[in-house]
Structure 1
Amino acid sequence: MSLGRENFAQEMSLPDQEIDLAKAALYIAQEENPSLEVDYYLKQLDQWAAQVRSLLPVERYPMRVLQGINQILYEELGFRGNEEDYYDPRNSFLDQVMEQRVGIPISLALVYLEVSRRLDFPMVGIGMPGHFLIRPEFEDAGIFVDAFHQGEILFPQDCQDRLQQVFAQPIDLQPEFLEAVSKREFLARMLTNLKLIYINHQDLERALGVIERLLLVFPDAITEQRDRGLLSYQLGRIPSAIADLKTYLAHSPDASDASMIQLLLTQISDQSE
């Protein structure tokens, strides 16, 4: 097991509220880049938070804090959404996002969350379909931040408009779309993005590695076990494929794809005899 995987597994052994999102995200990147110095990037986040702190008045009302974070991250440091190459896997690696100052909504949201946390201004991730947002972590905040679009402040109607832009069709904003996500859900969404990118690039080895980490986040994610089985089969790892696909069918005998998986499993078993 790589150092990055070991570190990530250790972080995932903690209760959700104790998980350090920045560390966990850097451990994901460390698997891609074993020489990555995690502490360097954590200190960089500390430094950016200190820059914001120097701008803030004694009375830290929420909009002033958000304006301060936006000034440092977007105006001075030049962070921006990567519209030109949205599906570049580097957009999902926190070290690369911090170095290049570009990313996708969830990775930029992570930078924003980590800076705000260091200012004792806690914020939470909002797993809106198709476009990740964040908001201050207090009751009835009523405002959301779009880290991908220069820290733009949104109200619920703006979230509805953004949703329609993303899906290019009328879509109703459901209350659950604006609910806060847990730290594990945050990391799972980051990893799922990366998994889909690798599968689309036919980089099955890396996709399999991402699924392994998804199963560290949510060990009972049965569809991830199914996908691990399918990728293992494509990579010629037959015993692993059979074990995972059998587990999937045992847990989800009535799944819509159960008959297809059963057929594949029969074929694999016949081939391996």
Structure 2
Amino acid sequence: MNHPRALPDWNTLATLGDDELPLLDTALLIARDEYPDLDPAGYSAQVDTYAEALRPQLEGDVDLPARLTAINRYLFEEVGFAGNNLQYDDPRNSYLNQVVDRKLGIPISLAVIQIEVTRRLGMPLDGVSFPGHFLVRLPVDDGILVLDPFNKGRPVSAEELRERASPHLGGQPPDDQQLLQILAPATHRMILMRMLRNLKGLYLERGDWERVARSADRLLKLSPDTAEALRDRGLAYRELGYAKGAREDLARYLQLLPEADDVESVRSALIDLSGSPSRLN
């Protein structure tokens, strides 16, 4: 029988250190916004079950890369987690309960499963907020091993990493120092904020303003002065008819980024809102 599991309180998360944020529980907290009846204890127990099934395979004198190979074989071949190539933009790929239920995800949600299982087995796996495609990393004797959770956890060479990063750096491949900076471990806050940004972007494309506002609001619970989240929540509030909230958010955005590229369009939106009655839709 599962005992009730209390998820974190959104209103306390900003006060926690970047890695004090509980990764799995906060990811489930994000999912609970969309799936209010989800059972947090059940999903946590499922991750525990994966780790316990693996533990006997990792006993004895097995080096880290071999241990990680066994973990990936289990997660991506036996259990069947996979990258959702056919419906990459399906929001369910970003909600951890759905990722566990459907065994489908995007790089960052699959990485969270991989990280949580691996850390339960005493291995220091970290996320990497790589441009375009989230990765994971493991320290080894001669450096770091970088893996791609979207592609069954396969290793990614330094050459391929440079090729992947190049389009995000003006077409120039990163040098060794730049690449190491890009491959720095992602904190839990960085991971969770990237998950929320992914969701916000999907809902922006769909014009789902209620969920845009929600995703932006959750970003601000994690990091209250995130300028782009203030802007997007303000624009969503405008679409939802909440003029007072829209004015406050957009004005704060301009305070934080007075030289932003979109400053004129945001000012224009503020002017349009200046005569709007304050009402909450």
What TM-score does the superposition give when structure 1 sets the normalisation length? 0.91
In the alignment, what sits opposite 2:39? 37
Which of these residues, 187, 211, 217, is aligned with residue 216 of structure 2?
211
Using a 3 Å threshold, how does the CA distance of structure 1 residues 251 and 18 change in structure 2: closer, same or farther?
closer
Which of these residues, 96, 101, 106, is aligned with residue 94 of structure 1?
96
Using a 3 Å threshold, how does the CA distance of structure 1 residues 151 and 6 change in structure 2: closer, same or farther?
closer
The percent of aligned pairs where both chains have the same amino acid is 36
In the alignment, what sits opposite 2:243? 238
Using a 3 Å threshold, how does the CA distance of structure 1 residues 140 and 233 change in structure 2: closer, same or farther?
farther
Instruction: Give 1:222's aligned amino acid.
Output: A
- Find the residue that maps to 2:137 and give its secondary structure: strand
Distance in 2 (alpha carbons) for counterparts of 1:43 and 1:5:
14
In the alignment, what sits opposite 1:270? 275
Aligned partners of 1:5 and 1:213 also within 8 Å = no
Which of these residues, 185, 194, 199, is aligned with residue 199 of structure 2?
194
User: Greater RCO between the two (CA within 8 Å, min separation 6)?
Assistant: 2
For residues 147-226 of structure 1, the aligned pairs below 5 Å read 147-163=149-165, 170-173=171-174, 174-175=178-179, 176-226=181-231
Using a 3 Å threshold, how does the CA distance of structure 1 residues 31 and 5 change in structure 2: closer, same or farther?
farther
Aligned partners of 1:131 and 1:163 also within 8 Å = no
Point out where structure 1 has 5 or more consecutive residues left out of the alignment: none
Aligned partners of 1:106 and 1:132 also within 8 Å = yes
Stretch deviating more after TM superposition (246-255 or 110-119): 246-255
Instruction: Give 1:201's aligned amino acid.
Output: R
Aligned partners of 2:14 and 2:224 also within 8 Å = no
Aligned residue pairs total 269
Note the C-alpha offset of 1:28.
0.6
In the alignment, what sits opposite 2:73? 71
Aligned partners of 1:142 and 1:156 also within 8 Å = no
Note the C-alpha offset of 1:254.
2.5
Distance in 1 (alpha carbons) for counterparts of 2:247 and 2:104:
40
Instruction: Give 2:137's aligned amino acid.
Output: R
In the alignment, what sits opposite 2:3? none
For residues 97-176 of structure 1, the aligned pairs below 5 Å read 97-137=99-139, 141-163=143-165, 170-173=171-174, 174-175=178-179, 176=181
Distance in 1 (alpha carbons) for counterparts of 2:249 and 2:164:
38
Which of these residues, 45, 53, 56, is aligned with residue 55 of structure 2?
53
Q: Deviations over 1:123-156 (max 9, x none)?
A: 1111111010001156863310100001101232
Using a 3 Å threshold, how does the CA distance of structure 1 residues 227 and 119 change in structure 2: closer, same or farther?
same
Stretch deviating more after TM superposition (212-221 or 131-140): 131-140
Point out where structure 2 has 5 or more consecutive residues left out of the alignment: 1-5
- Find the residue that maps to 1:143 and give its secondary structure: strand
